[in-house]
Amino acid sequence: MSISNNVQRRMVEGSWIRKMFEEGTLLKQRYGEENVYDLSLGNPVMEPPPEFVQELKQLATNPSPGMHRYMGNAGYPETRAAVAEQLCLETGVKLTVNDIVMTCGAAGAANVVLKTILNPGEEIILLAPYFMEYDNYIDNHEGIPKVLPTDEQFMPKLDTLEAAITAKTKGIIINSPNNPTGAVYDEDLIHHLVDLLIKKEEQYGTQIFLISDEAYRKIIYDGLKCPPILHHRHSIIVTSHSKDLALPGERIGYIAVHPECSQQAELMSGLIFCNRALGYVNAPALMQQAVRNLQHVTVSVAEYQRKRDFLYNHLIEMGYSVVKPRGAFYMFPKSPQEDDVAFVRELQQCNVLVVPGRGFGAPGYFRVSYCVHDRTLEGSIDGFKKTAQKFNLC
């Protein structure tokens, strides 16, 4: 066997997703790309905002000496300061350059954080439905994921959470706005969550990190604002510019640590060390320079909201059961039949591609990604309708 047993096992576990992806590719080959409505990927079709295009052009046409060299493993101080400044504005917490590590995307950020804090066998709490790569990230660093269900609105159940926290709990990952549900946690909920963590920290004499994956923080609708999680001094933001600046391929993100975190300097040293030791070394240099002045810039959220409204209204009208998403660019309807994989295959037969809920630790649902061209969304409606009729949803 050329590959490790663990990698082998994890690949087999995920192989059904790959199989579905391959089936989708076959469909596209058979019927033509334009006749298959692929709502399965979180790869936004929106282009980066014009400010980014301008910034990149400026950097490339006026190259400055040393702009592609190594910098410190934490990233350029100027970029870290710019990130901190914007976070100050958004959260009211006084972050500085010393609280920020630039990373290779939010995935890099999450791995660096988990590597830094986890001893083997320590637990990280996840709230299903969730982005299942977290399982891999926790496993990379010998942690144990402890998955808890959420309520009907995809909100954390505080009593369940309270019962699940033990002396082994090193942290909890939250992701609001959420992939795959589009749920957004409100300020009250965050406050209650933080109170619970602090209570449990006192009970066990431990630190329990609130790790907040905020990749979709800026993609939020109906005039809502994403409440800051920095009430908890043991909170860490992991995020990227993949969605707000539409740069997922460029792997540019960051970690922000609460300035009042206990042993903050030691934690920062650990994060910077792990950014190097995990082989990321530093976030890509050119992108660090490109996003420096764009911390206040976001793609058109109104565009996404329009797409959400279009799809949500249609699905509701057809009789699907959907919690209205308040952010991100996904919705997570109930599967009309218990077996979500079987249902996804029904949609496949109408050339509509989505992902079964079990791909997010939540069987009985399916994820629809609407960060696609309008023509793709519009084209999918017929398939959703036919399938709804087949299941007598109306």
Contacts to a copy of itself from residues 14-33, by CB under 8 A? 14
Residue closer to a copy of itself, measured from CB, 108 or 129 = 108
User: How far is 315 from 338, CA to CA, in rounded Å?
Assistant: 18
- Choose which of 166, 203, 262, 321 interacts with a copy of itself (CB under 8 A): 262
- Choose which of 37, 280, 329, 360 interacts with a copy of itself (CB under 8 A): 280
Residues pairing with 239 in the sheet: 254
- Choose which of 148, 190, 220, 287 interacts with a copy of itself (CB under 8 A): 287
- Written as six digits, the tokens of 107 are 């995935």
Residue closer to a copy of itself, measured from CB, 140 or 160 = 140
374-390 helix and 340-349 helix, angle to the nearest 10 degrees: 110
**Cis ω on the peptide bond leading into residue 248 (within 30° of 0)?**
no
**Is 164 among the residues that bind a copy of itself (CB under 8 A)?**
no
Residue 230 backbone dihedrals phi, psi, to 5 degrees: -80, 20
Residue closer to a copy of itself, measured from CB, 44 or 327 = 44
Q: Answer for the pair 192, 161: CB distance below 8 angstroms, yes or no.
A: no
Residue closer to a copy of itself, measured from CB, 216 or 384 = 216
Residue closer to a copy of itself, measured from CB, 274 or 328 = 274
Sequence-distant (6+) residues with CB within 8 A of 71 are: 282, 285, 288
- Choose which of 49, 207, 292, 386 interacts with a copy of itself (CB under 8 A): 207
Least Cβ distance, residue 287 to a copy of itself (angstroms): 7
- Choose which of 247, 297, 355, 377 interacts with a copy of itself (CB under 8 A): 247
- Choose which of 29, 35, 43, 166 interacts with a copy of itself (CB under 8 A): 43
- Choose which of 28, 157, 192, 276 interacts with a copy of itself (CB under 8 A): 276
Q: Answer for the pair 20, 28: CB distance below 8 angstroms, yes or no.
A: no
Q: Stretches 183-191, 276-284, 329-337, 359-367: which one binds a copy of itself (CB under 8 A)? A: 276-284
Residue closer to a copy of itself, measured from CB, 115 or 326 = 115
Least Cβ distance, residue 191 to a copy of itself (angstroms): 23
C-alpha distance from residue 267 to each of 60, 139, 233, 239 (Å):
35, 21, 13, 18
Residues recorded for the chain: 394
Residue closer to a copy of itself, measured from CB, 238 or 318 = 238
Q: Stretches 154-162, 267-275, 327-335, 378-386: which one binds a copy of itself (CB under 8 A)? A: 267-275
Q: Answer for the pair 281, 103: CB distance below 8 angstroms, yes or no.
A: no
Q: Stretches 155-163, 196-204, 243-251, 304-312: which one binds a copy of itself (CB under 8 A)? A: 243-251
Least Cβ distance, residue 363 to a copy of itself (angstroms): 22
Least Cβ distance, residue 248 to a copy of itself (angstroms): 5
Residue closer to a copy of itself, measured from CB, 108 or 356 = 108
Instruction: List the interface residues with a copy of itself, window 56-85 (CB under 8 A).
Output: 56-57, 59-61, 63, 65-71
Residue closer to a copy of itself, measured from CB, 11 or 316 = 11
Instruction: List the interface residues with a copy of itself, window 81-140 (CB under 8 A).
Output: 104-105, 107-108, 110-111, 115-119, 133, 136-137, 140
Least Cβ distance, residue 40 to a copy of itself (angstroms): 13
- Written as six digits, the tokens of 346 are 């029904």
Residue closer to a copy of itself, measured from CB, 101 or 155 = 101
- Edge-to-edge order in the sheet of strand 123-128: 100-103, 253-257, 235-240, 209-213, 169-174, 123-128, 144-149
C-alpha distance from residue 66 to each of 69, 275, 286, 289, 292 (Å):
5, 21, 11, 12, 17
Query: Residue 238: which of 225, 249, 254 has the closest Cα?
Result: 254
Rg (the chain; Cα; Å):
21
User: How far is 314 from 380, CA to CA, in rounded Å?
Assistant: 10
- Cα 38 to chain center, whole Å? 20
